[in-house]
Amino acid sequence: MKRFKWVICAASIAAVAAIAAPAARAQHDVSFGVNAPVGDANLFFSISSQYFRRDNRSVTDWSRRFRNPDDLAVFFYIVQRSWSSPEQVYALRQRGMPWYEVGRQCGVPFNAWYVTYNGRPGGRYAKPYRQYDRYRQDPRFSVRLSDREIRDLVAVRMAHEYYGVTPETAMNWRRNGSSVQVIMTREYRNRHRDDRADRGDRDRDNRDNDRRNDENRPDNDR
């Protein structure tokens, strides 16, 4: 009986650990091959569709309401991490609310804005992570993140989880203020620059093989 209870306990611990494991272990990065959209904006919409698990058309439609791709990413992140609909999130933002307050009203917990970082990041991430350290020491600590800080944090999380890179690497990509669109599309092209050519070569080889097979097939089989 004791052994049975120990097995159940171990299984429960394993399940909790699996739920709490960093999302970066399950990368979202896929190659779109010859179907990769033309242009950075369309490629970013496809990447966002994959990462946020939204229909590509929905991402494209909502993008028309945000001039800044960073805001589009924050918008879908709040939708993803809350029970609110896109329309509800957008309505709150339209009232002039900062992104942090929009997230708070939609039930996004404070620690959901952060990825685990060993050490103390510098640059544009120094201040928000100092606040995070104070919050972890005392959850009653009152914190407010600016729109820029929210955009920075979402950009790092997206790059970290989508491409499976370390938070430090993702922060380095953002250090000069590059938009999340630039970061995500640049890394996609670095990883998949040969995909179109490889796919074209495979298709050409398959057509050549089919033609040779047709030529070698007996007349009564044609």
User: pLDDT tens digit string along 83-126?
Assistant: 899 999 999 999 999 999 999 999 999 999 999 998 899 999 99
The Cβ of residue 71 has, within 10 Å, a number of other Cβ atoms equal to: 19
Q: Please check whether residue 132 lies inside any domain of the structure.
A: yes
Residue 84 lies in a domain: yes
Report if residue 220 sits inside a domain: no
Asked whether residue 154 is domain-assigned, the answer is yes
Question: pTM higher than 0.85, yes or no?
Answer: no
The first and second tokens of residue 106, run together, are: 């939609």
Residue 205 forms part of a structural domain:
no
Buried b / exposed e across 169-205, counting CB within 10 Å, b at 16+? ebbebbeeeebbbbbbbebbeeebeebeeeeeeeeee
Tell whether 113 is covered by a domain: yes
> Which of the four pLDDT bands, split at 50, 70 and 90, describes residue 197?
low
For the record, the structure tokens of 91 come out as 């309505």
The mean-pLDDT minimum among 38-47, 69-78, 136-145, 193-202 falls in: 193-202
Neighbour-count burial of 120, counting CB atoms closer than 10 A to its CB (0-12 exposed, 13-18 middle, 19+ buried): exposed
> Within a domain: residue 3?
no
Quote the tokens at residue 48: 């966002």
Nearest-10 Cα torsion for 44, 45, 48, 54: -170
pLDDT confidence of residue 23: 41
Query: What is the domain range of residue 85?
Result: 38-192
Query: Is 27 inside a domain boundary?
Result: no
**What total of structural domains would you count in the chain?**
1
